[in-house]
Amino acid sequence: MTQAGPTGADAPTGRAARELLEDADRLVTTARAVLDDHARAVDSARTALVPLLDSLVGRELAAIPLARLGDVTEGRLRLGALEQAGYRTVGQVHDTGRYELRQIPGVGAQTADRALAATRQIAHAVRDTVAVRIDVDASDAATTALLIALHRLVEAGPDARRATTAARRLATELEPPLAAAAPARSRLRMLFAGRAARAQVLAAVASVRCAVEAAATRELRLLFGQVSVDLLRGPASEAEAWVDFELRSAEYYSLLAEMSAAGPDRDAAEGFLPAGIADRVRGLRLDDTHLRVSLRGYQSFGARFALAQKRVILGDEMGLGKTVQAIAALAHLAARDETHFLVVCPASVLINWSREIRARSTLRAVPVHGPERLDAFAEWREKGGVALTTFDALYTLPAGPACGVRPGMVVVDEAHFVKNPATRRSRAVTGWTGHTERVLFLTGTPMENRVEEFRSLVRQLRPELAPSVTTTHGIAGSHAFRRAVAPAYLRRNQEDVLSELPALVQADEWEEFSAGDLEAYREAVAAGHFMRMRRAAYARPETSAKLNRLCELVTEAADNGLKVVVFSYFRDVLRTVGEALGDGVFGPVSGSLPAARRQELVDAFGAADGHAVLLSQIQAGGVGLNMQAASVVILCEPQIKPTMEHQAVARAHRMGQIRTVQVHRLLAADSVDQRMLEILARKDRLFDAYARRSDVAEATPDAVDVSDGALARLIVEEEQRRLTA
């Protein structure tokens, strides 16, 4: 049945109609203003981008031999005169004007025009392939101007895209009925209008009222006003722009990819899916009303794939943001009036899920874990939100029809944990997924290397596909495998979708103390021993939550062939980590080793084929050694001096690094770790960052860092009060 649109039966008339139309005029003006403000900000960034792209194009053209002009013109261009005049590359012709070319003996107007047209054609093709890469260690005026222009858009954040999308839609919907309702502004015109004309005007007034009321419900005036304020702020200073880029480089590169149209190859970004599936996914518009983050193109596609295909495995390589893609899918469904969602994950990442949901969306996270899980589960059933539970807790909860709730989507993180259908955790997951329309499995393990494992997972999601998955597909290579399993599997690799200078992806890995951890921590607090408090999370290796998460991260890195550097301030922590990881670990690099021996360890680590792990004391490996072979950095605990962490990460995240660097900082909730971060956060972030970029700060980090002794005393006293309260 077709739903009727608004009619004029109950449309406001007279003064009420005139006030409504004036209000609608103001709303459209505000919408157009935010579109204009955004367009100016984008134009400013594009203008700043042009000289950098021109420079890159010029560099590429300078390496292309002159003979390529003959290829482009299919041999119709005679190059002999140009060669005799000393021209050797396409770049030399491109940099020469028409008049200068015509001065060369043997080069007439037609030859000059053809040569320049051919160089422009090549330059245009080259421009589509180059990407601006920003080196934080080599700033220049052009790059600084670009960062200042981009800073305004980054500061506006995802609200800018949401506001421009809403403003464009509102103007399209509101302007036609506003024009049709114009006679209602005049009592005289309405008096002399015929019955049919009057009815049309009143219907238009009713349409305007519907649009204005819908805008009020979505608080669009507030959104438009705030975004315009953000876009009209004065430009950032040079230092502020560079500092912000260091902290949020991925957001800058995302904007650059959109503006330069030099993003990843579309087939690669879409996981080499068959055209039919890719078209279906592209056709789904993602509703980001409940999102608080801007998605990169491949991330938006991943969320839409999960929604369009309904029961799938998202297997993106670690560091590409599987969690945020899952949250985007949940947020879309929430905007479509779904109220209940379930996330099942290992206990080691449950806190991270909770924090990510709160930071990246407006959704309500409900941890269903621990002794109070049944009460939390009952609250979730009643009020909705995203229930977060662990594999071990899931089997204790009522599932399926017995639960009384059918989630809009079930997300299973680290889904390879349920590859064996006979295990208790797998049966518990199946109890939910068997009665849910949409299911999303997340795993960073490349499935083409584990075809049997994949067949087991896909049997739970799409049993009709399982028989068609054979071992030969994996043997044939990743692309062949992905095509064969396309309806239920999407995987993208970093090298396929991150074309810029590798970004720095930082993740705080929050863990809850195990019983053993907590006992060791309480003992250290009671003794007033700050350093023992900092390493108490590793005092009982057999039950250490941090150590367990570290091993999971290293395992995932190994599955993807990535090298890992593990930093800690404490030698005994590194010894514990080394024992947990077993053979094949390099190091530790420590202050007691001669400089030459430290370099030998780093060189051997870099020369190792494929995955490897290097252990290093942060104060020994954080300065002077280049570890760009590593693309995963794990910090066992937060550092008292922020500069120490920065210097350590910079060993891997520097020129020469060819992959995105992932930094995982292991943190224990309600502990010395949390207190340290809270206290250090009270310092002005920008001041620290300015200082960090100065030569003086690099040489003397104590100039901007908190006193070790003062910080230690403050934290010990706070923790003693908290634990004895």
Asked if pLDDT for residue 459 goes beyond 70, the answer is yes
- Per-residue pLDDT at 51: 93
Output the pTM of the full model. 0.66
Residue range 509-519: average pLDDT?
94
Q: What is the DSSP letter of 585?
A: E
Whether 417 maps to a domain, the answer reads: yes
The two three-digit tokens of residue 368, written as one number: 């269903």
- Is residue 345 located within the same domain as residue 301? yes
- Same domain? 482 vs 522: no
User: Do 290 and 255 share a structural domain?
Assistant: no
Q: What pLDDT, on the 0 to 100 scale, is given for residue 229?
A: 92
- Which band of pLDDT confidence, cut at 50, 70 and 90, is reported for residue 348? confident
3-class secondary structure, 205? helix
Q: For residue 228, what are the domain limits?
A: 1-259
Q: For the residues 427-444, what does the mean pLDDT come to?
A: 93
Query: Which one-letter DSSP state was computed for residue 316?
Result: P
Which pLDDT score is estimated for 685? 46
Percent of the chain with pLDDT over 90: 49
Residue range 47-60: average pLDDT? 92
Residue pLDDT, tens place only, 68-90: 888 777 777 878 889 889 999 99
Contact by Cβ (8 Å): 302, 316: yes
pLDDT of residue 479: 61
In-domain check, residue 305: yes
Q: Tell me what the pLDDT averaged over the chain comes to.
A: 85
Domain boundary among 497, 523, 539: 497
Examine residue 265 and state whether it is found in any structural domain, yes or no.
no
Instruction: Report DSSP letters for 513-568, one per residue.
Output: PPHHHHHHHHHHHHTT-HHHHHHGGGSSGGG-HHHHHHHHHHHHHHHTT--EEEEE
Q: Which of 292, 420, 465, 426 is nearest to 362 (CA)?
A: 292
Q: Is the dihedral of CA 423, 427, 429, 433 positive or negative?
A: positive
At residue 659, the pLDDT reads 65
Domain contains 326 = yes
* Mean pLDDT of all residues in 169-190: 88
Domain boundary among 259, 289, 310: 259
Mean pLDDT of 52-60: 91
d(CA 615, CA 567): 6
Confidence of residue 297 (pLDDT cuts 50, 70, 90): confident
In a domain, 264, yes or no: no
CATH number, position 665: 3.40.50.300
pLDDT > 70 fraction of the chain, expressed in percent and rounded? 87
**Among candidate residues 609, 617, 613, the one with its CA nearest the CA of residue 630:** 613
Residue 687 pLDDT more than 50? no
Residues sharing a CB contact under 8 Å with residue 424, sequence separation 6 or more, in sequence order = 395
| Residue 696 pLDDT | 37
pLDDT band at 693 (very low <50, low <70, confident <90, very high): very low
Say yes or no: 174 and 193 in one domain. yes
Q: Which of 482, 410, 409, 413 is nearest to 442 (CA)?
A: 413
Q: Is residue 182 part of a domain?
A: yes
- What pLDDT band is residue 660 in, cutting at 50, 70 and 90? confident
Asked if the structure places residue 670 within a domain, the reply is: yes
Could you tell me the pLDDT band of residue 11, with boundaries at 50, 70 and 90? low
Kindly report the CATH number assigned to the domain that includes residue 296. Answer: 3.40.50.10810
* Strands 409-412 vs 340-345: parallel, antiparallel or unpaired: parallel
Residue 446 sits in the same domain as residue 510? no
Question: What is the number of domains present in the chain?
Answer: 3
- pLDDT interval class at 624 (50, 70, 90): very low
108 and 163 fall within a common domain:
yes
Note whether 213 and 283 are same-domain residues: no
Residue 266 lies in a domain: no
Domain boundary among 231, 259, 287: 259
The two three-digit tokens of residue 247, written as one number: 């902290």
pLDDT confidence tier of residue 257, bands split at 50, 70 and 90: confident
| CA 107 centroid distance within chain | 53
d(CA 32, CA 169): 11
| Identity at 384, one-letter amino acid code | G
Q: What is the pLDDT of residue 451?
A: 77
The mean pLDDT of 461-483, rounded to a whole number, is 67
One-character DSSP codes across 221-283 = HHHHHHHHHHHTSPPPPHHHHHHHHHHSHHHHHHHHHHHHT--S-HHHHTTT--HHHHHHHHT
pLDDT exceeds 60 at position 463: yes
Element (H, E) at 425: helix 424-433
Output the pLDDT for position 701: 39
Q: Are 311 and 462 in contact (CB under 8 A)?
A: yes
User: What integer is the mean pLDDT of 462-473?
Assistant: 73
307 with 379, same domain? yes
Domain shared by 279 and 229, yes or no: no
Query: What pLDDT is recorded for position 69?
Result: 86
Cα angle 134, 139, 142 (rounded to 5 degrees) comes to 80
> 619 and 553: one domain?
yes
Helix (H), strand (E) at residue 374: helix 373-383
More confident residue, 188 or 65: 65
- What pLDDT is stored for residue 284 in this prediction? 95
Clarify whether residues 466 and 544 are in a common domain: no
Q: Is the same domain home to 113 and 248?
A: yes
Question: Would you state the pLDDT for residue 706?
Answer: 45
Do residues 53 and 259 touch, judged by C-beta distance below 8 A? no
